[in-house]
Amino acid sequence: MGATSHGLQKALLSLLVPLMVTGGLGNLTTAHAATTGVPITAPAQPDKYRTALSEPGFQTAQRQYRRDIPVQFLGINDLHGGLDNTGMAWINNVKYDGVGHVSRLAAYLNQAQRQFLRVHHSLNTFRLQAGDMVGASPANSSLLAHEPTMHALRAMHFQLGTLGNHEFDRGLGEFNRILTGGSPGADADSVVKRYPHRATRMQEVVSNVVRKSDGKQPYGYQPYVIRTVRAHGRSAKIGFIGIETTDLPNLTYPRNYKDYRVLDEAETIAKYDKLLNKKGVKAVVVMAHTGAGTWKGKTSGDAVNILQKVNRIDPDNNVGLYLAAHSHQYANAVVGKTRIVQALSSSRAYDDTQGYINPRTGKFSTLETHVYPVLSAQDDPLTKTNRRVDRIVRDANRRVAGKINAVIGTAATTAAIDQTSDQNGESPIGELVVDGQLYEAKRKGQPADFALTNTGGVRSKLVVDGQKHITWGAAQAVQPFGNVLQIIEMTGQQVVDALNKQYSAKGALQVAGLRYTYTGKGQQTRVVRVTKTDGTPLDLQAKYRVVINDFLHTNAKYGFVGTPVVGSLASDTDVFVQYIQDMQAAGKTIAAPKADRKTPQSDATPVTSLTVAPVTTPAA
């Protein structure tokens, strides 16, 4: 009757407070498909409360479902090894500051599960994750091959999860090693070899990633799993389907996915929903690394599109809950008859879904979904930090402290250099990164004209302490991937085409060594004038040397594939660290660059009369 580990069951049972199951919340059945007159996408229950303890719908059992089986799903997504990350979160248009840290996340998950246990006398709780648990991570996870993150997930009793794109960062085999607690290779760093290797006890479920060689899921992962829940002497089954984004080839190196195929998300969900239906499973939960976002009552994104497609090809599907991920946004809505939810990223929030299954039909009777912030101890002192998980984080920090805490530079102010892009797409820390890459090319005797990097590869603001110190760990968090920097040769026209393609590909670039003027909005944006930093117009026929990372060079999404490589530098991580160290040695402080590299056109001058026109239209 349980979905928890035996140890956690004992801990929760010891906290059980006998309560009478009384009446309460009214019928909150899920919305029906568009054929019933209900909009395809509709708002879910509003998220007005800071914790599940305050949620009105979670205070008492619903009398009308007293013969049904209560269930709870606690979910996270996009942890990204953010063991002790804290920051800001927007949930239902409300801003929360200082949220995050896995030890606080653990405390809230336990709190929510204890509440469910008290109200329903039930252990039918499932802890789920929707991918990107590792990758693009701070040093206290990445320097230890992300094994501290695996330890934290184990301590938090996560049972089921799916793959995100970042699980492929070091190859799926390496992710499977840390998932299962295998020993590292002979070439691993000594600090990794000394770290304890333990299995997470978490089962990976992925339906649409299959080996090209035989069409099977890799490493024995299952396309779906079935779990039985019980209450009142009755039982029912829940099916869990795992989904990877089909955008995977645009998000990792070809060598990391060359052996696999990623099948259509909606078609795969429909396929396994029907299979589960044949097995008598009428309640289905999807964990999918596809994004959604809710803002001012409106929800959109790939996950919404996928569910709409599922409803077209499988209108009688039994998908009641869809855990979204990948876009790092808040989402809580109803798509057709399915509740969709997403809890930001990096331990800043979690989602709590509670409801009932009718044991006669096997279907969800009702589900209620909410997203809550992971508040700091200062903002919520009554919720005590989980000591076990906190010890895991402190131990990881201790093991890498010598490297992380080394001061490598001095900032102009004590304020962090922000990651957020302005309305023109200029990120202060992103532009500092590419400035450093141009500097490094010149320092290595391989001068380049421009440097371009993908905004998605710049993962954090640059944190500065009260003495204006910049540490190695702070710099590493900005550029954690370790992508190799290459110098390629491009014509001026190819540079313009790449600048244009960032808009049609929805993959913004940070630029150094050039400035440009643009017109239009969204995917219709077009570059109309490009100059070097000194104001010299770009010559469309001339050849220029451009620094990019090898991820950009192998990714057709950005338009650099096939350009000749004429030089190489170190990894982007090492180059950024070295740049800060060199500025320190030269007695220079680090400051945010002036945002003057991308300028909207301010007049109605026809595009064809401007310097770089005509510009070829990039592929979609």
Instruction: Quote the pLDDT of residue 304.
Output: 97
Instruction: Quote the pLDDT of residue 603.
Output: 57
Q: Write down the mean pLDDT value for the chain.
A: 90
Residue bearing tokens 């140890």: 7
Percent of the chain with pLDDT over 70: 91
Q: What is the DSSP letter of 442?
A: H
Q: What is the reported pTM?
A: 0.83
Pairing mode, strands 125-129 and 69-76: parallel
> Which DSSP string do the residues of 194-214 spell out, in sequence order?
HS-------EEB-SSEEETTT
Backbone phi, psi, residue 110, to 5°:
-65, -40
Q: Above 70 in pLDDT, residue 323? A: yes
Instruction: Quote the pLDDT of residue 514.
Output: 97
* pLDDT, average across residues 312-321: 97
Instruction: Quote the pLDDT of residue 151.
Output: 98
CB 152 within 8 A of CB 80: no
Task: Answer with the residue of higher pLDDT: 234 or 554.
Answer: 234
Q: Above 50 in pLDDT, residue 45? A: yes
**What does the pLDDT look like over 413-463, one tens digit per residue?**
999 999 999 999 999 999 999 999 999 999 999 999 999 999 989 999 999
Query: For domain 31-172+201-353+369-394, is the CATH number 3.30.365.10?
Result: no
Confidence of residue 137 (pLDDT cuts 50, 70, 90): confident
Q: CA of 548: how far to CAs of 434, 483, 485, in Å?
A: 9, 10, 6
- Can you say how many angstroms the Cα of residue 175 is from the centroid of all Cα atoms in its chain? 16
**Sequence-separated (6 or more) residues with CB below 8 Å from residue 440:** 485, 569, 570, 575, 578, 579
Instruction: Quote the pLDDT of residue 21.
Output: 28
**What does the pLDDT look like over 109-123, one tens digit per residue?**
999 999 999 999 999
3-state secondary structure of 404: helix
Q: Above 50 in pLDDT, residue 205? A: yes
**What does the pLDDT look like over 467-479, one tens digit per residue?**
999 999 999 999 9
Instruction: Quote the pLDDT of residue 279.
Output: 98
**What does the pLDDT look like over 241-287, one tens digit per residue?**
999 999 998 888 889 999 999 999 999 999 999 999 999 999 999 99
Confidence of residue 544 (pLDDT cuts 50, 70, 90): very high
| CATH number for the segment(s) 407-609 | 3.90.780.10
Confidence of residue 18 (pLDDT cuts 50, 70, 90): very low
89 closest CA partner among 381, 442, 342 = 342
Lowest mean pLDDT segment, chosen from 147-156, 165-174, 565-574, 596-605: 596-605
How would you write 545-596 as a 3-class SS string?
A: EEEEEHHHHCCCCCCCCCCCEEEEEEEHHHHHHHHHHHHHHCCCCECCCCCC
The domain locations on the chain are 31-172+201-353+369-394, 407-609
**What does the pLDDT look like over 53-92, one tens digit per residue?**
999 999 999 999 999 999 999 999 999 999 998 888 999 9
Confidence of residue 39 (pLDDT cuts 50, 70, 90): low
The two tokens of residue 107 are 């405390």
Instruction: Quote the pLDDT of residue 490.
Output: 97
* pLDDT, average across residues 501-516: 91
Q: Above 60 in pLDDT, residue 616? A: no
Q: Above 80 in pLDDT, residue 25? A: no
CB 218 within 8 A of CB 186: no
CA atoms within 13 A on the CB side of 463: 16
